[in-house]
Structure 1
């Protein structure tokens, strides 16, 4: 990706990186000519967050910084948010959409890291390594093979057969597991995986259950007290999806009653914002339980790839207006045009706006070399490539159009 000259000086475009974003992102921005980069090791909130975003064009976050409606409204100059992680739950997408702020993430870059940890913890749990490890640290020499098993030949139930769930499926088959999956959408099975029509059936037929569902109202408390009552034969449970998917207190009871013989949990309903905050969970000190601090995707390889992926999407949007992968404003894939000026117009999706845009351009006798449009329920996104000598007048007139949210000239 070669650097593109923009109308707004790149050294004036403030990019804020929070939560120790990978150096690969910083290197990518610098390589493309962006030097006004402000980095913070941890998450920010309240007045501190508002202050650093006051004059920022781009903010890069991971999972802790909360981009609420109030935060987005105060960040008047913000044009894009980069979520350097799988999800976008930390961003009010509706508010970003209505404010004309583009939101990107990296839905696939840490897939392998999470999948490997699922398989690793499954092996640890089925061999009861957490208890053996604890005993050894306490000076006990427990070599018993009782309740310690091979993973080969067991059935893995995958709840949510998306990018991570299907990757787990492939790795599991290579380890000799039989795989079944349940998904609310119709997903094509990979390898020899078998689709199951109900969550109850999947739980009852599987030896190990692993969760890979998105965080939304439909998955919140998915494994509640009732669903956890379907675990009756000492299955293992792994959750590396979202913290509010499993009722932690009900899970503790199932573990104590031996209906579930072990669990690995990487995500929690409430998580510390930084290393200084103390972590507390009702699952602490429960037998054969592995607790990890939301590190499913925290490998150097995954963070490096995420840094490259999201920073590249942000740069494409800043420099060309391309919004493929956006979770807020409509998606557009845009070609590069020579000897033109490109103007982005984001507006409320109401009738008459596009007509008014074309009417103003017609009255100005502007030579249009390219026009692109995409809409969602709330917002319309129009990109115009026009002759260079027409750009200043056109930009001024487009800003006057009713229902305009944001107008930018790129080059």
Structure 2
């Protein structure tokens, strides 16, 4: 009897095939066995969690007045527990608790939110180059902020007028994107991207005209700095709203993790596996618009965080969205805390816009990702 026919062994490459939607490669077999398991995922989250706590304490202590980590922890503990401090420590305590702590915490929240939303946008539009601002939300928020700053509108809201204008601009941009891209009630990924990009250019042109015609040069300088991002206006008053929005957004995205996996494979595959792509895409568009609008209203437009961080996380834990949405917010929070620290210490006493630093970091990282073997963006 002849021996049974067997298929010839196949040659295994060093990396698994890329995710069809984003081009992000799955981890190599060794890494996949370690990190794609629940213990590996928990270990990754634990390491990032510890790194985040350490980063927050260090960032709070560094600045024009340097405070050691031990003293920083002492002041934070006193503030949280109602402890006492010496009279000669009051000034340093006020700097730590009233100025730096809300700023660093806001940076962590914005970094976490932008990273999570970036994951959702890339799957929703099936585009590896997408980020939270590809839908024109950021540009719309910029127009709202510029309009309020130049015209003095919403003056009744006081220091929150610019943030409120930015949020309203973001919502208006989202409505325009939906109306312009929807066809017979359906939202296609390509139409969303093209409409968002087109409206972004339109909003940027409108913002440039408003800034050019503005009679107040100081207002113009403030607007330009705001549109590049910054946490200089962070207060304890904005943290509850941002915290609630980011937490709710991440919880909702986790509930849509399986839908994101299927949307990344294409509408036909998603429909055959039992989900309605249009219904999920509309819900995700609403969520992305609301979260991005809130984040932009308190921090300005910060590029590359929602674009690069999701890809880096996928390279470590794989393309399954349940894993990526668990790790990406922690990674984004750590990254943004250090970016903010660099922005206020590198050229002290002047403060660099966050968008400049994230671009300087994000551009080379993204180019490196594109040149990696096995990393494919929509094909060869």
Q: TM-score, normalised by structure 1?
A: 0.24
| Structure having the larger proportion of residues in helix | 2
Q: TM-score, normalised by structure 2?
A: 0.25
